[in-house]
Chain A
Amino acid sequence: MIEYLLIFSNATGIYGFMNTPWGWPIIESIHFFGLSLLIGTVGIFDLRLLGVGQGIQYSQMHKLVKVGVFGYSLNVMTGIMFLTTAPDQYIYNPAFQTKLFFMIIAGLNMIVFYLTTAHAVKTTPADSYATHPAKVIGAVSLLCWAMVIICGRLITYFRPPYHWCWFC
Chain B
Amino acid sequence: MQSLAILEETALSIWLRESGAAFFSSLTLHSLSMALVVGINFAIAFRLIGIVPTFDLKPFLKFYRLHWVAVIVIFLSGLALLLAYPAKALTNPVFYLKFSLLTIGLIISAWLQNQIQTHKIPGIAQHKFFWIAVASILIWIGTITAGRFLAYTNSILLASRFF
A126: chain B residues within 8 A (beta carbon): 59
A43-B39 contact in complex given A29-B144, A67-B52, A153-B24, C-beta closer than 8 Å: yes
How many of A's residues come within 8 Å of B, CB to CB?
38
Where chain B touches its partner, the secondary structure class is helix
Report the separation of the CA atoms of residues A55 and B63 in the bound assembly, to the nearest whole angstrom: 12
In the complex, which residues 45-78 of chain B have their Cβ closer than 8 Å to any Cβ of chain A? 46, 51-53, 55-56, 58-60, 62-63, 66
A22: chain B residues within 8 A (beta carbon): 152
A53-B60 contact in complex given A40-B41, A43-B39, C-beta closer than 8 Å: yes
Q: Is the CB of B35 within 8 A of A44?
A: no
Interface string of A85-129 (1 = CB under 8 A from B): 000000000000000000000000000000000000000001000
Q: Is the CB of B40 within 8 A of A40?
A: yes
Interface string of A25-52 (1 = CB under 8 A from B): 1101100110111111101100100001
Q: Is the CB of A57 within 8 A of B55?
A: yes
Q: Answer whether residue A10 sits at the interface, using C-beta atoms and an 8 A cutoff.
A: no
Interface string of B23-48 (1 = CB under 8 A from A): 11001100110111011111100100
Q: Is the CB of B55 within 8 A of A61?
A: yes
Interface residues of B (CB under 8 A from A): 23-24, 27-28, 31-32, 34-36, 38-43, 46, 51-53, 55-56, 58-60, 62-63, 66, 140-141, 144-145, 147-149, 151-152
Report the separation of the CA atoms of residues A43 and B42 in the bound assembly, to the nearest whole angstrom: 12
B41: chain A residues within 8 A (beta carbon): 40
Where chain A touches its partner, the secondary structure class is helix
A153-B27 contact in complex given A29-B148, A43-B39, A56-B59, C-beta closer than 8 Å: yes
- Could you say which of A40, A55, A63, A149 contacts B32, with CB atoms under 8 Å apart? A149
A63-B144 contact in complex given A53-B62, A54-B62, A150-B32, C-beta closer than 8 Å: no
A29-B145 contact in complex given A55-B56, A56-B56, A63-B52, C-beta closer than 8 Å: yes
A124 to chain B, nearest CB (A): 14
Q: Is the CB of B62 within 8 A of A157?
A: no
A64: chain B residues within 8 A (beta carbon): 43, 46, 52
Report the separation of the CA atoms of residues A129 and B75 in the bound assembly, to the nearest whole angstrom: 33
Q: Is the CB of A36 within 8 A of B53?
A: no
